[in-house]
């Protein structure tokens, strides 16, 4: 059973963010040995997620007492919000963790003044793109100039 909670300071988020950033850098072709070699903005998230995401909502998925996934929902701006940092621990994939996190994020946003939610995903993460499409997201014009990034959105 996967439970999704609003992160306050429960253990596990730092390890999930670290794994997310290390894997992403590796996939982009800039593998780094450890978190100390990550770009400063990512190290800041890992070192102090409370400050890095002070205005955002952080969701944590747990299987029992173990953190197995995370997701960040940005503070709404002009009727829209963004989902980012979706990560499921590789050992827990295929158990509905990402779906539970996104579903809770959408339910959270439905209780706010948000009309749309957007996200970006690297084009090589085809499984994630397929998941987002199953959950109602569609590809949209890019708001980010980084190559290989797919931008998606959906109505809340």
pTM: 0.94
Q: pLDDT digit string (tens) for 3-35?
A: 999 999 989 999 999 999 999 999 999 889 999
CATH topology (fold) of 2-155? Aminopeptidase (3.40.630)
Residue 145 predicted with pLDDT over 90 = no
What percentage of the chain carries pLDDT values higher than 70? Answer: 100
Q: pLDDT digit string (tens) for 124-143?
A: 999 999 999 999 999 999 88
Mean pLDDT over each residue of the chain, to the nearest integer: 95
Residue 64 predicted with pLDDT over 90 = yes
Label residue 78 by pLDDT band (50, 70, 90). confident
pLDDT for residue 90: 96
Residue 2, token pair as written in the block: 């996967």
Residue 147 predicted with pLDDT over 90 = no
Residue 59 predicted with pLDDT over 90 = yes
Mean pLDDT of 76-99: 95
pLDDT for residue 77: 87
Residue 82 predicted with pLDDT over 90 = yes
- Residue 68 neighbours by CB under 8 Å, 6+ apart: 2, 61, 62, 88, 89, 91, 92, 95, 97
Contact 46, 17 (CB under 8 A): yes
CB atoms closer than 10 angstroms to residue 102: 24
Contact 24, 79 (CB under 8 A): no
155 backbone dihedrals φ, ψ, rounded to 5°: -75, 140
pLDDT for residue 117: 97
Going by DSSP bridges, is the β-strand pair 2-6/116-122 parallel, antiparallel, or unpaired? unpaired
Q: Strand, coil or helix: what is 152? A: strand
Q: Long-range CB contacts (< 8 A, 24+ apart) of 100-105?
A: 100/2, 100/4, 100/61, 100/69, 101/4, 101/59, 101/61, 101/69, 101/70, 101/71, 102/71, 102/131, 102/132, 102/135, 103/4, 103/135, 104/4, 104/59, 104/71, 105/57, 105/59, 105/71, 105/73
């Amino acid at each position: 059973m996967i439970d999704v909670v609003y992160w306050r300071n429960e253990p596990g988020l730092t390890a999930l963010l670290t794994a997310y950033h290390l894997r992403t850098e590796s996939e982009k072709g800039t593998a780094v040995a450890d978190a100390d070699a990550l770009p400063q903005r990512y190290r800041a998230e890992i070192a102090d997620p409370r400050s890095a995401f002070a205005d955002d909502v952080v969701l944590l998925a747990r299987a029992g007492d173990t953190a197995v996934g995370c997701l960040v929902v940005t503070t709404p701006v002009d009727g829209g919000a963004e989902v980012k940092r979706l990560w499921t621990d590789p050992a827990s994939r295929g158990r509905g963790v990402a779906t539970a996190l996104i579903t809770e994020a959408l339910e959270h946003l439905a209780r706010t003044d948000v009309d749309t939610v957007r996200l970006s995903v690297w084009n090589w993460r085809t499984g994630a793109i397929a998941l987002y499409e199953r959950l109602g997201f569609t590809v949209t014009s890019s708001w980010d100039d980084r190559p290989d990034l797919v931008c998606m959105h959906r109505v809340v």
